[in-house]
Structure 1
Amino acid sequence: MNLAPYIDHTLLKATATPADIQTLCQEAATHGFYAVCVNPAYVAQAKAMLGESGVKVATVCGFPLGALTPDQKAVEARLSAEAGADEIDMVIHIGAALAGDWDTVEADIRAVRQAVPEQVLKVIIETCYLSDDQKRHATRAAVQAGADFVKTSTGFGTGGATPQDVALMAEVIAACAPERQVQIKAAGGVRTPADAEAMIAAGATRLGTSGGVGLVSGQSNGAGY
């Protein structure tokens, strides 16, 4: 299976340097990955480097805790879009989700959606902290607020994507918005080609990983994201 078109080649570590971002972008262009995913400080560099390669630039918002106000997230997303980001991966208000305050969760997502209407919006629900019922509510809130993707994980929590969570999210999306064609991004712990194929079989159309080169080379890797 050709995994390259599914991959968001990711580098979100605090220790990432401009040279590391250059390598990331070169790898993405060489292997034909769908996108790179970098912190906002590196969006402009990645956009300039990738140029006409066809590789998209994704960045994060409210990352990794989700504990910003809706207005703060909206500004962060808008500035990233102005710097050249094609896609925004935002983290939900996790505390509100755990409290069952789904109106707040949805309003938080909607603020970002309204700030970046032209960008692809991926909503990270951080499944490792949520019960199955909370995952269902969070997925529904993301869809209702206008997300293009619902994403499993930041890769910085206590766990990452599982095929079971991807399947659960796909079930919710099919039930509440079959006409919207909202997609799923599996991120965190996609370490082997078998992992990747299991996520895709469960319903994922995008994979977030820092080990993309290893995946397309058919190798296992120790990538945490």
Structure 2
Amino acid sequence: MAKKQIDPGLDQVKEMLDVAILQPTATAAEVERVAQVVRDELYGFLCVNACHVRRAAQCLVGAKGKVIACVAFPFGATATETKVFETQRALADGAEEIDMVMNLGAFLGGEKKRAMEDIREVVAAADGKVVKVIIETAYLSTDQKVDAAKIVQEAGAAFVKTCTGFSPDAAALYEDVRLLRQTVGPKMGVKASGRIRNYLRFISMVEAGANRIGLGWQQAQEIVKGWHEAHG
């Protein structure tokens, strides 16, 4: 299948960028600096760990960028009730979207209903806000990726997301993104995350079917620079 040729405008590119600061060592001051970049550069989103949501939201008051809170990050291995509480608290603190990690142990152990209910509970707790579910493609076979994406879709999430960036070989692959898009169809969101470091990689992910890109602020700057070079 030939790749669909994509040529987004700069505003569209920026709106697709989920700029993340998710390192366990990230300080409040570092979160504030990245929030300022998101604010100044008019990026669409700032993705932070739950403990930083309130500060990030305060930094982005009146800005274009919205705050995404990560839930059960990066392993997904917490009780559903904990994920629900974390979701509710993040929304109360100012998050506009939730990126949760799937219960991979349940899924890989054949407890697909449990994995689905885990997602459904978070979607319900989000009360209409966008929920993206990370399935950690690096751990999954092709058939498992398809099954996981179907579970995410049936559970009512808005997006399926490739990876946290903390798993082995945590790179977003064209083939994986295309597979997820083919699985969930045109209406559901697909977020690609992992080693998307320049404009060519960005375009590759969009051509594959991603409509949201997760990355660090330096990579976001490289993508914008690449857009200018491609359109100069």
Same fold? TM cut 0.5? yes
Contact 1:61–1:73, Cα closer than 8 Å, also in 2? yes
Contact 1:105–1:138, Cα closer than 8 Å, also in 2? no
Q: Secondary structure at the match of 1:53?
A: coil
Shift, 1:191, TM fit? 1.1
Equivalent AA in structure 1 for residue 79 of structure 2: T
The one of 175, 179, 185 equivalent to 1:168 is 179
Shift, 1:153, TM fit? 0.4
Write out aligned runs for 1:58-77 (5 A).
58-77=68-87
Shift, 1:10, TM fit? 0.5
- Superposed CA deviations along residues 157-205 of structure 1, whole A, max 9, x for unmatched, are 012211111110111112xxx6xx2100000111111111100001000
- Superposed CA deviations along residues 65-106 of structure 1, whole A, max 9, x for unmatched, are 010111111111111011110000000011122223211110
Equivalent AA in structure 2 for residue 215 of structure 1: I
Contact 1:8–1:36, Cα closer than 8 Å, also in 2? yes
The one of 21, 30, 36 equivalent to 1:20 is 30
Identity of matched residues, %: 36
Shift, 1:55, TM fit? 0.7
Q: Tell me whether 1:218 sits opposite 2:226 in the alignment.
A: yes
Instruction: Tell me the distance in 1 between the aligned counterparts of 2:107 and 2:89.
Output: 26
Structure 2 gaps, min length 5: 1-7, 228-232
TM-score normalised by structure 1 residue count: 0.92
Which segment is superposed worse, 84-93 or 157-166?
Answer: 157-166
Instruction: Tell me the distance in 2 between the aligned counterparts of 1:197 and 1:80.
Output: 31
Shift, 1:45, TM fit? 0.8
Instruction: Tell me the distance in 2 between the aligned counterparts of 1:160 and 1:55.
Output: 25
Shift, 1:116, TM fit? 1.0
Q: Secondary structure at the match of 1:78?
A: helix
Q: How many equivalent pairs are there?
A: 214
Structure 1 gaps, min length 5: 220-225
Write out aligned runs for 1:22-41 (5 A).
22-41=32-51
Q: Secondary structure at the match of 2:69?
A: strand
Q: CA RMSD in A?
A: 1.2
Instruction: Tell me the distance in 2 between the aligned counterparts of 1:156 and 1:59.
Output: 16
Q: Which runs of 4+ in 1 moved over 2 A?
A: none
Q: Secondary structure at the match of 1:207?
A: strand
Equivalent AA in structure 2 for residue 162 of structure 1: L
Contact 1:154–1:160, Cα closer than 8 Å, also in 2? no
Q: Secondary structure at the match of 2:68?
A: strand
Q: Tell me whether 1:186 sits opposite 2:197 in the alignment.
A: no
Equivalent AA in structure 2 for residue 63 of structure 1: F
Contact 1:188–1:209, Cα closer than 8 Å, also in 2? yes
TM-score normalised by structure 2 residue count: 0.89
Instruction: Tell me the distance in 2 between the aligned counterparts of 1:122 and 1:160.
Output: 18
2:5 matched residue in structure 1: none
Q: Secondary structure at the match of 1:153?
A: coil
